[in-house]
Amino acid sequence: MKKKLPIPSSEPLKLDLTFFSVEKRKKVKAIMKIYRDIDKKTENFRQKTGLKCLSGCGECCHDKFVSATTLEMLPLASATKQKGELDAWITQVDPKDKHSPCMFFKGEKNSSQGYCQVYEHRPLVCRLFGFSAREDKYKKYELMVCRKIKEAMPEVMEKAEAQVDAGKRHAPLSQEYVMKTFTLSLQDGGDSRNINHAFAKAAEIVQLQGRLFASSTTS
């Protein structure tokens, strides 16, 4: 039975990771560092070029093939545990539906307009999709931008591409962060699955680690 979800808070949350084992805590901190680095570079690129995701747009969130690794979802699972929301989110996952759109996007039915309910702790693909860069075989940066942004901001897009081509601006390099995340995830099982299922798996780990931690502190 699905539980009623709480209204998301806009206040930043300082995660308490003390219940994790030492090794698992290191990996969660490492993936969080990757997220911070991407966000910093994305924000700098946005400020310098004016390129940004469209307000309220969630078209990419409706894709039935959005995937993530368990490790990528551990910060989110930890945050929902800390807020007392973990069980409510777990009940939203359909274990039989391997191609369901992201359940964390809140929007009107049959509409791509809405918002992410867990934006602060979203996984890698969500941080890179709007706009990032890739390096071709000649080591030249190429800007990758969402179709909706291209259509809505053609002039801004053209200027941003020109700056990237000239080597004056650098969006987050997708290969760099995908490889870093893949390496960390590979050490942790290397699984990549539907984003909702990845969260459910991360939630299992968080619950288990929490029980082990509670047992060790009371014995």
pLDDT band for position 2 (50/70/90)? low
Q: What is the pLDDT of residue 204?
A: 96
Q: What is the pLDDT of residue 177?
A: 94
Q: How many domains does the chain have?
A: 1
Q: What is the pLDDT of residue 165?
A: 85
* Residue 49 counted as domain residue: yes
* Residue 106 counted as domain residue: yes
- Residue-range definition of the domain harbouring residue 142: 22-218
Closest CA to 88 of 97, 77, 96, 99: 77
Q: What is the pLDDT of residue 107?
A: 85
* Residue 11 counted as domain residue: no
- pLDDT (tens digit, 9 = 90+) per residue, 73-116? 999 999 999 999 999 999 999 999 989 999 999 987 777 889 99
pTM: 0.89
186's tokens? 């590979």
- The CA distance from 135 to 178, in Å, is 13
Q: Is 5 a residue whose pLDDT tops 70?
A: no
- pLDDT (tens digit, 9 = 90+) per residue, 25-55? 999 999 999 999 999 999 999 999 999 999 8
Q: What is the pLDDT of residue 3?
A: 56
Closest CA to 86 of 94, 77, 74, 75: 77
Q: Pick the more confident residue, 145 or 7.
A: 145
* Residue 164 counted as domain residue: yes
* Residue 2 counted as domain residue: no
* Residue 17 counted as domain residue: no
- pLDDT (tens digit, 9 = 90+) per residue, 163-218? 888 887 788 999 999 999 999 988 777 789 999 999 999 999 999 999 999 988 87
* Residue 13 counted as domain residue: no
- The CA distance from 165 to 197, in Å, is 39
pLDDT band for position 12 (50/70/90)? low
Closest CA to 14 of 56, 72, 69, 75: 75
- The CA distance from 213 to 21, in Å, is 8
User: DSSP of 42-96, one letter per residue?
Assistant: HHHHHHHH---PPTTB-TGGG-TT-EE-HHHHHHHHHHHHHTT-HHHHHTT--TT
Q: What is the pLDDT of residue 4?
A: 54
* Residue 63 counted as domain residue: yes
- Do 56 and 113 contact (CB within 8 A), yes or no? yes
- The CA distance from 201 to 199, in Å, is 5
Q: What is the pLDDT of residue 150?
A: 92
Q: What is the pLDDT of residue 103?
A: 95
